Amino acid sequence: MVIGVPDGASTATSGPEVITASPDEHEAAEVASDVFVDPAPFGGGGAEPPPSRGLAAPNGKPWAAPIPFTSNEPVPDKLIFILAAGSDARPGEDMLRTRADSIHLLGVNPATGQGTLLGFPRDSWVEIPGHGRGKINNALALGGPDLLAATVRRLTGLPVDYYVITGFRGLQAMVDELGGVDVLVNRRMNDRNSGARFERGWHHMTGGQALAFSRNRTDVPEGDLSRSENQGLIILSALAKMRAEVADDGGIARWIGVLLKHVKLNVPVTRLPNLGAAARRLDPSRVKNVVAPGRLGFTARQSVVFLTTEAAKIFQDLRDDAVIGTAAPDTAAAAASSSTTRPPRSSTATTRHPRTTYSTTSSSSTTTTTSYEYSTTTTTDDSDTPVTLLPGDPEEDPEE
């Protein structure tokens, strides 16, 4: 198969075969096979900000070990793909008809206990069904969540079983109502536009801090690619929090109640307990946090991101098992799932080591992922120190 090139280019490049079969018998999904280009550096790589007064000092702790979990909900027997999007709607705007500036597809393999959190740069130049080529984040504004889901299906060849949409205030409120999330910030941040001002280390983030961290694209290594990766970190940190706090279906119901107050979704209410239990069983250390690689370009009088052939390989790799690489069962998780009750774990806390890069080949410099390794260590409770975040106007840049 020949992979196309950006508008205005004269030479086509060969690339991998991409998925052309329908991922769902009820809804055909045509893959836009000519949107992928050859890999190239993304163009970021800005230096880490220097030390500065007023940055929030680390006050968080490594993810705690999971507590025993008992559930009456069965383990799903099929792959699960859920589209999670963050709308950039301002006060008075319709959250379902504005741009989706945070876009992630979570694929889960319940049989192996593995998954992939696939982020898409918001400026990815893609085929939007019925509207021609455009930035992927504009699909939500043009046709709501259904069109955004259809755009992701067409681009990737992957199914989208359900979608979940929230906005700035929704994210903040959910994090605050659940008591905050612990996130490892591996790079100093001092960004006026987003309000992200953090020293390196573990931070117990409030809703406002989680939003600022998720929106920072100015002083991160690769702009929107790094921002998408950090948004994925918030999601995985929430999964880790759930494993450390939720012991039964009653706990799942509480989390579902918080979710329903602040998001729009198309998940049947009767399916929510089962999906909640599946999320509780999912070990975030076995979920790869991947950003679809792309390169900066210019077309239709605007700056865009052209996804590369490496992105096409990732999409194809996820098709059979929702896992990058080879799916490998977690024997401990499998044993626990058979009885739907997790055995007691060690009382020691878990420490996540710094992130490492992932690439489908050694030639791409733009495929990033959060890879986790765990070790056990004892920790002390020193989380009483409050975090001070200097004032910053998150609305300053309408493109933030």
165, β-bridge pairs:
85, 264
In a domain, 391, yes or no: no
Question: Residue 168 corresponds to which tokens in the numbers above?
Answer: 């700035």
List the CATH number of the domain containing 291: 3.40.630.190
Confidence of residue 332 (pLDDT cuts 50, 70, 90): low
Confidence of residue 395 (pLDDT cuts 50, 70, 90): very low
Average pLDDT in the 368-375 region?
38
How far is the C-alpha of 164 from the C-alpha of 86, rounded, in Å? 9
The bridge status of strand 125-128 relative to strand 132-135 is antiparallel
pLDDT at res. 22: 35
Confidence of residue 130 (pLDDT cuts 50, 70, 90): very high
In a domain, 20, yes or no: yes
In a domain, 14, yes or no: yes
- For 150-183, the pLDDT digits (tens) are 999 999 999 999 999 999 999 999 999 999 999 9
Confidence of residue 18 (pLDDT cuts 50, 70, 90): very low
Range of the domain at 206: 2-377
pLDDT at res. 326: 87
Confidence of residue 39 (pLDDT cuts 50, 70, 90): confident
- For 215-264, the pLDDT digits (tens) are 999 889 999 999 999 999 999 999 999 999 999 999 999 999 999 999 99
pLDDT at res. 43: 60
Asked whether residue 114 carries a pLDDT value surpassing 60, the answer given is yes
In a domain, 400, yes or no: no
Average pLDDT in the 325-353 region?
47
DSSP per residue over 285-319, as a string? Answer: GGEEEEE--EEEEEETTEEEEEEBHHHHHHHHHHT
Cα maximum dimension of the chain: 61
In a domain, 131, yes or no: yes
Asked whether residue 11 carries a pLDDT value surpassing 60, the answer given is no
In a domain, 358, yes or no: yes
pLDDT at res. 35: 82
In a domain, 54, yes or no: yes
pLDDT at res. 132: 97
What DSSP character marks residue 284? G
Average pLDDT in the 319-342 region?
68
pLDDT at res. 45: 58
How far is the C-alpha of 267 from the C-alpha of 5, rounded, in Å? 37
Average pLDDT, the chain: 80
- CB-based burial label for 362 (10 Å; 0-12, 13-18, 19+): exposed
At residue 48's C-alpha, the angle toward residues 47 and 50, to 5°, is 115
Asked whether residue 21 carries a pLDDT value surpassing 80, the answer given is no
Beta strands in 175-280 (DSSP E): 181-185, 189-190, 197-198, 201-205, 264-265
Q: How many domains does the chain have?
A: 1
pLDDT at res. 31: 65
pLDDT at res. 219: 87
DSSP per residue over 373-387, as a string? Answer: -EEEE-----TTSPP
In a domain, 388, yes or no: no
Least confident residue range of 122-136, 248-262, 335-349: 335-349
Least confident residue range of 92-106, 206-220, 337-351: 337-351
Among candidates 95, 50, 86, 118, which has minimal Cα distance to 210? 86
